[in-house]
Amino acid sequence: MCANIARATILALALWTNAAFAGDLADFNAAVETAAAHNRVAIGYLRTGNVDLASLELDRLRAAWTQLATRFTAKRPDAFDGNPRYGNLFTGVSARLVAADIMLKSGRPDTAGSSLSAIRDDLYDLRKASGIVVLADCVRDANTVMDAFMAYNDRALDFGKPETRFGVASTAAIYGYVLARCDGIAGEAIRQQPEFRRLVDGAKASLALIPKAIATRDADLLHRLLIELRSFDNLLAFRFG
């Protein structure tokens, strides 16, 4: 009986330890998302030229990042053990926030936006180095594929070339795959949000018409579909990236 008790105790400790590590990562991800949400909004305001609201969101971002850094600088989640990027993250992001603030106050919103966008890259690279993927990272991957897809946004596109038809079809397939992956990665609460569903399902509907554009060699239809997809893609980045 003592052996059974010992085994049960070891199992309970193992389960508790795994839950604690998972909790650390979940808490870290949640804190990062709080800061990232302000970052996305600030970048969006800068793109539309609303410097005052961008400055307000930058203040909120800085406050959220300070809270995150206070909590996690010396408390590395187990998932990031051995990841050299973790130690550099906090000083690096803090420096980017200072640079963004200086650029914003000196009338250089484009440069400020670049500093804020670089924070998104820092977080992406950190998680990628540890094999961690969250919705924001998947959306970033979708943005990258969409950038490549927009190379076919040309009304003079020559559908007579097999490589053109293959390129459009294969890039659409890759984007559809990444989009479906993002849909799967999103938690149930996000997945059921009307806004998320509108963007993902709207993009899927546009993708479903790409084969028609290829079959009919209709560059105008492809142009309209790509504009729709770019719009959905941008909104996904603004809201969930």
Rounded Cα distance, 205 and 199, in Å: 10
User: Which residues 6+ apart lie within 8 Å of 78 measured at CB?
Assistant: 21, 24, 25
pTM of the model: 0.80
**Which whole number is the average pLDDT over 186-204?**
94
Q: Which whole number is the average pLDDT over 200-223?
A: 96
Instruction: Count other C-beta atoms under 10 Å from residue 6's C-beta.
Output: 10
Q: Hey, what's the torsion of the CAs at 51, 195, 30, 104, to 10 degrees?
A: -10
Q: Would the pLDDT of 10 be above 60? A: no
- Angle at the Cα of 195 (from 189 to 198), degrees rounded to 5? 115
Over residues 112-145, the pLDDT tens digits come to 999 999 999 999 999 999 999 999 999 999 999 9
pLDDT tens for each residue of 51-96: 999 999 999 999 999 999 999 998 899 999 999 999 899 999 999 9
Q: Which fold has domain 2-129?
A: Four Helix Bundle (Hemerythrin (Met), subunit A) (1.20.120)
Side chain identity at residue 155, one-letter code: R
In the chain, where the domains are located: 2-129, 135-240
